[in-house]
Every structure is written in structure tokens, then in C-alpha cells.
């Protein structure tokens, strides 16, 4: 029984860390690299007939050129609302529409803007690492509860905490690798 509980705690911790890593990846995807990408706007909330709706539920996206993103709304009546949401998102993009589709031209990034984006990405990476450490802390608390409630030995707890630390170090290393890749992508001219 104890082993099952320990396995549950460890599996839960691994799953939470995987979700935290996925969150970091999705946060990185929202930072522009100078290339057109729908990930930058697909989660924008659009006021669609009085309810806040994610843009990806209202339109298709295509990238006909490296610096051009085309948004094709399913409902032509939503074009103005989508255009307004994109303009208000402060992404440095100026939407233009022809009544049917919205075109977003991604300007080349200046050196100053690239460095600002690198700072943003580093902040997001640090937030991800903090989240991973929080998951580790939660896992440790769960193990300590098992020690109190089910008489798990302190040697087992110490061994499991080392495993938790190793898992955390591996996940933090993944965040660092993602950060290095994103920085390289941002600084690429």
C-alpha cells in the first residue's frame, strides 16, 4: 500500500512538472521572433457577440510568406472584433482587412526590440523554474504526509527526495535548453 501511495505522489509530481514545462513552451511561443506565427495571436480573447472567445475558435490561420500571417474568420461579421482585439493586444502588429480576411505583416525586429524580447523570455523561463520548484515542494510535503500517516521510514523519504531533486534538475535543464534555443531564435537576424 505504501509503495502505491509513493508511486502516486511521484507520478503526480512528474505530471505536474510536465504540465509546467508545457506552459513554459506555450509562453515562449507567444514571444515574436520576426517570423509570422499564429501562436502569437491564437489565444487572444475576442469580444464575440458579448462573450470573450479565443481567436483560434473564430478563425483559421495561414502563413503564405515568412512575415505575413493571414487570419480567415469563420464569421465575416467577426472581422472588426478580431481586428480590434489584435490592435489592442499591443503586439506591434497593425492588422489590415479587406472585409473578409485580416492580414498581419510582421516587421523586422530592431536590435533593441530583440533584446527586450530576450529579457521577456528569460523572465518567463525563471517563472517556469519557480513553478517547477513549487511542484517539487508540493511533492515533498506529500511525502512527509505519507511519513506521518503511513509510517514511511525517514531513509525512504530521503531517497525519494533525492529522486524528486533529480527530476526537478532534469526539468530545469529542459527549461534552460528551451531558453537557449529561443534566445538564439530571437537574436538571429
Tell me if 31 sits within 8 A of 182, measured CB to CB. yes
What phi, psi does 49 have (nearest 5°)? 50, 45
- Per-residue pLDDT, averaged over 40-55, amounts to 88
Grid coordinates representing 154?
Answer: 525517514
pLDDT at residue 173 tops 70: yes
pLDDT at residue 105 tops 70: yes
Q: For residue 51, what is the enclosing H or E element?
A: strand 51-54
> In this predicted structure, what is the pLDDT of residue 40?
79
Adjacent-strand bridge partners of 62? 70
pLDDT at residue 109 tops 60: yes
- Looking at per-residue pLDDT, the higher value among 30 and 184 belongs to 184
Cell 512527509 belongs to 144
d(CA 101, CA 97): 6
In the chain, where does DSSP find H-type helix?
2-29, 79-88, 111-150, 154-187
d(CA 2, CA 150): 7
- Per-residue pLDDT, averaged over 78-107, amounts to 86
Label residue 189 by pLDDT band (50, 70, 90): low
Say which range, 37-46, 50-59, 60-69, 130-139, has the weakest mean pLDDT: 37-46
- Per-residue pLDDT, averaged over 159-170, amounts to 94
pLDDT at residue 4 tops 90: no
Grid coordinates representing 76?
Answer: 465575416
Smallest CA-to-CA distance from 28 within 104, 105, 127 is with: 127
Other Cβ atoms less than 10 A from the Cβ of 147: the count is 15
> Which domains are delineated in the chain?
2-30+110-187 (1.10.132.20), 38-105 (3.30.1360.40)
- Looking at per-residue pLDDT, the higher value among 50 and 29 belongs to 50
> In this predicted structure, what is the pLDDT of residue 19?
95
- Looking at per-residue pLDDT, the higher value among 50 and 32 belongs to 50
Other Cβ atoms less than 10 A from the Cβ of 76: the count is 11
> In this predicted structure, what is the pLDDT of residue 167?
94
Burial class (CB in 10 A: 0-12, 13-18, 19+), 91: middle
> In this predicted structure, what is the pLDDT of residue 115?
86
Global confidence as pTM = 0.71
Amino acid at each position: 500500500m505504501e509503495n502505491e501511495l509513493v508511486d502516486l505522489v511521484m507520478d503526480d509530481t512528474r505530471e505536474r512538472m510536465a504540465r509546467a514545462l508545457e506552459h513554459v513552451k506555450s509562453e515562449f511561443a507567444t514571444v515574436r521572433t520576426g517570423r509570422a506565427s499564429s501562436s502569437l495571436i491564437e489565444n487572444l480573447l475576442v469580444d464575440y457577440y458579448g462573450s470573450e472567445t479565443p481567436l483560434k475558435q473564430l478563425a483559421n490561420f495561414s502563413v503564405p510568406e515568412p512575415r505575413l500571417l493571414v487570419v480567415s474568420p469563420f464569421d465575416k461579421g467577426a472581422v472588426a472584433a478580431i481586428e480590434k482585439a489584435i490592435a489592442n493586444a499591443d503586439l506591434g502588429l497593425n492588422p489590415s482587412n479587406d472585409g473578409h480576411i485580416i492580414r498581419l505583416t510582421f516587421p523586422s525586429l530592431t536590435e533593441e526590440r530583440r533584446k527586450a524580447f530576450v529579457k521577456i523570455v528569460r523572465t518567463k523561463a525563471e517563472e517556469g523554474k519557480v513553478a517547477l520548484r513549487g511542484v517539487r515542494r508540493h511533492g515533498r510535503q506529500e511525502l512527509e504526509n505519507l511519513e506521518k500517516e503511513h509510517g514511511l521510514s525517514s531513509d525512504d523519504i530521503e531517497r525519494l527526495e533525492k529522486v524528486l531533486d533529480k527530476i526537478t534538475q532534469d526539468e530545469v535543464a529542459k527549461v534552460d535548453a528551451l531558453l537557449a534555443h529561443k534566445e538564439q531564435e530571437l537574436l538571429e537576424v
